[in-house]
Amino acid sequence: MASVRKTDKRIEDEALVETPDLEEFIGYNLKRAYVIVQSDFRRTLGEDGFAPRVFSALSLVVQYPNVTSSGLARMLGIERSGLVAIVDELEGRGLLKRTNVPGDRRVQALVPTAKGKTAYAEARAAVRAHEDRLLSNLSDDEKATLMSLLGKIRATEA
């Protein structure tokens, strides 16, 4: 039964190690924290809500109208082949349109629709609410410090 386990050899061994090595690594802590935030994001936005990467893409399209898929890929730090499914989903939902660019027929400018702008404003509010609620045990100062330190890590990127 379960109560026996609390006193058996395996758990006694655990008690001998105060802090596992693992907890000393930034990478491990970063991942565990990221998983928590991401899964709360998905839970909050729900089945029919945006996945994080789709939300990110929509955000950039609304803020940078006429951005291209390749531009989006660069900003998001992923390969441009990965943008196809994301843009397909957003276009399929009627939130943006692929439009031709006069002067370069290779390129498709991504333009948010009115519906897309509205949907983004609502989703942004939902995401803000999710982070405010989930991270309510961090003060505004702590959040700002965290952002700044994460920014320092991001600044190491090649």
Partner DNA sequence: TATTGTTATACTCTATAACTATA
Partner DNA sequence: TATAGTTATAGAGTATAACAATA
Where do contacts with its own copies occur on this chain (CB under 8 A)? 9-10, 13-14, 17, 20-22, 25-38, 41, 52, 56, 59-60, 63-68, 71, 77, 109, 124, 127-128, 131, 134-135, 137-138, 142-143, 145-147, 149-157
Token reading at 11? 């758990």
What is the distance between the alpha carbons of residues 69 and 84, in angstroms, rounded to a whole number? Answer: 8
Place of tokens 């349109």: 97
Token pair, residue 75, equals: 């900003």
Looking only at residues 80 through 119 of this chain, which bind DNA when binding is defined by CB under 7 A? 80-85, 87, 98, 103-108
Packing angle of the helix pair 69-76, 52-63 (nearest 10 deg): 120
Return d(Cα 57, Cα 69) in angstroms, integer: 9
Least separation in angstroms between CB 104 and its own copies: 9
Question: Binds 25, which of DNA, its own copies, none (CB < 5 to 8 A, cut-off by type)?
Answer: its own copies
Q: Which residues share a beta bridge with 99?
A: 109
Nearest to 115 by CA among 139, 144, 92: 92
Count of residues that interact with DNA, criterion CB under 7 A: 28
Which one of DNA, its own copies, none interacts with residue 108, CB within 5 to 8 A by kind?
DNA
The correct pick among 78, 111, 126, 135 for binding DNA (CB under 7 A) is 78
Q: Which residues bind DNA (CB under 7 A)?
A: 2, 5, 35, 51-54, 68-71, 77-85, 87, 98, 103-108
